[in-house]
């Protein structure tokens, strides 16, 4: 069977993406870093909808941990492979550059960039060799396209995700593996709950934050058969905030 792996699938966008992909009949591996209760909740929702899922705990920044978790999964699933990968795990740690600590800088880049690399590199050979094609969707951000004061670390990470997407798409195109990115604006999740929403929505033409489910629909489309000729692209989803 062809599984989907969603990094950071326990909360926010990842949670909605897991539920949406499972609703398409795809068995989903819900990755989480620490919050097992939230990950189990996602799995229970999927089961309640008649879908199939498994939990997989690893920290995307831990190369050894990533490889060990996927090695173990492959041992237990000799007939299966991960044909859909959503690199969603990400963190924010905002601050102006002149006050930014090493930890603040590296933590954000490690999660969005190095984490994406460790997971994707590990899964690519099977995805390309199986001959059934594959889908990789990377979660970037409006910040990665536009740049935002107080987020040099996050903007660097999310711009890198776009660059990786463009380059990797060219490496995998002939193997029928598409690689795209989504660039959400402000979406209602734990990551944005400390932001002044009332103030920010004044800048958003649609006058609201997006919902995780709206991003999940876009990711689901990019994972579908209908999106097979779309690769190397970054699709914005931001209520008109340019």
DSSP letters for the chain: -EEEEETT-SSHHHHHHHHHHHHTT--EEEEESS-HHHHHHHHHHHHHTT--EEEEE--TT-HHHHHHHHHHHHHH-TT-EEEEEEE---------GGG--HHHHHHHHIIIIIHHHHHHHHHHHHHHHSSS-EEEEEE--HHHHH--TT-HHHHHHHHHHHHHHHHHHHHHGGGTEEEEEEEE-SB-SGGGTTS-HHHHHTTSTTSS-B-HHHHHHHHHHHHSGGGTT--S-EEEESTT--
Cα–Cα distance for residue pair 63/100, rounded to 1 Å: 25
Binding span for ligand NAP by CB under 6 A among 31-39, 67-75, 122-130, 166-174: 31-39
Q: Is 14 in the site for ligand NAP (CB under 6 A)?
A: yes
Residues 143-182 that bind ligand NAP (CB under 6 A): none
- Cβ nearer to ligand NAP, comparing 32 with 81: 32
Pick from 3, 4, 5, 11 the residue near ligand NAP by CB under 6 A. 11
Pick from 27, 51, 83, 90 the residue near ligand NAP by CB under 6 A. 90
Q: Output the smallest distance, CB 84 to ligand NAP, in A.
A: 16
Pick from 20, 22, 51, 88 the residue near ligand NAP by CB under 6 A. 88
Q: Output the smallest distance, CB 19 to ligand NAP, in A.
A: 13
Identify the active-site residue in 3, 84, 154, 229.
Answer: 154
The 194-213 contact track toward ligand NAP, x by CB under 6 A, reads --------------------
- Cβ nearer to ligand NAP, comparing 37 with 174: 37
84 is catalytic: no
The 48-87 contact track toward ligand NAP, x by CB under 6 A, reads -----------xxx--------------------------
Nearest alpha carbon to residue 153 among 64, 91, 85, 217:
91
* Residues taking part in catalysis: 154
Judged by the rule CB under 6 A, the positions of this chain that interact with ligand NAP are 7-8, 10-14, 31-35, 38, 59-61, 88-91, 111-112, 115, 139, 141, 184, 186-187, 189-192
């Amino acid at each position: 069977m062809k599984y989907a792996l969603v990094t950071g699938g326990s909360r926010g966008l990842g949670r909605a993406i897991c539920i949406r992909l499972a609703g398409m009949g795809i068995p989903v591996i819900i990755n989480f870093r620490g919050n097992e209760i939230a990950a189990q909740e996602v799995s229970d929702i999927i089961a309640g909808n008649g879908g199939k899922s498994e939990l997989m705990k690893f920290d995307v920044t831990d190369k050894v941990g990533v490889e060990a978790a996927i090695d173990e999964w492959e041992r237990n699933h000799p007939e299966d492979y991960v044909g859909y990968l959503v690199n969603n795990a990400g963190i924010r740690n905002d601050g102006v550059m002149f006050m930014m600590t090493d930890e603040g800088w590296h933590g954000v880049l490690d999660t969005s960039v190095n984490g994406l690399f460790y997971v994707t590199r590990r899964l690519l050979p099977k995805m390309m060799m199986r001959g059934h094609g594959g889908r990789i969707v990377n979660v970037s951000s409006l910040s990665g396209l536009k740049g935002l004061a107080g987020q040099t670390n996050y903007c660097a990470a999310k711009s890198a995700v776009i660059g990786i997407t463009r380059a990797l798409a060219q490496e995998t195109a002939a193997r029928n593996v598409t690689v795209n990115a989504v660039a959400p604006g402000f979406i209602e999740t734990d990551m944005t709950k400390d932001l002044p929403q009332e103030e920010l929505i004044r800048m958003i033409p649609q006058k609201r934050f997006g919902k995780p489910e709206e991003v999940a629909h876009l990711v689901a489309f990019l994972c579908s058969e209908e999106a097979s000729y779309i690769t190397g692209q970054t699709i914005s989803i931001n209520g008109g905030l340019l």
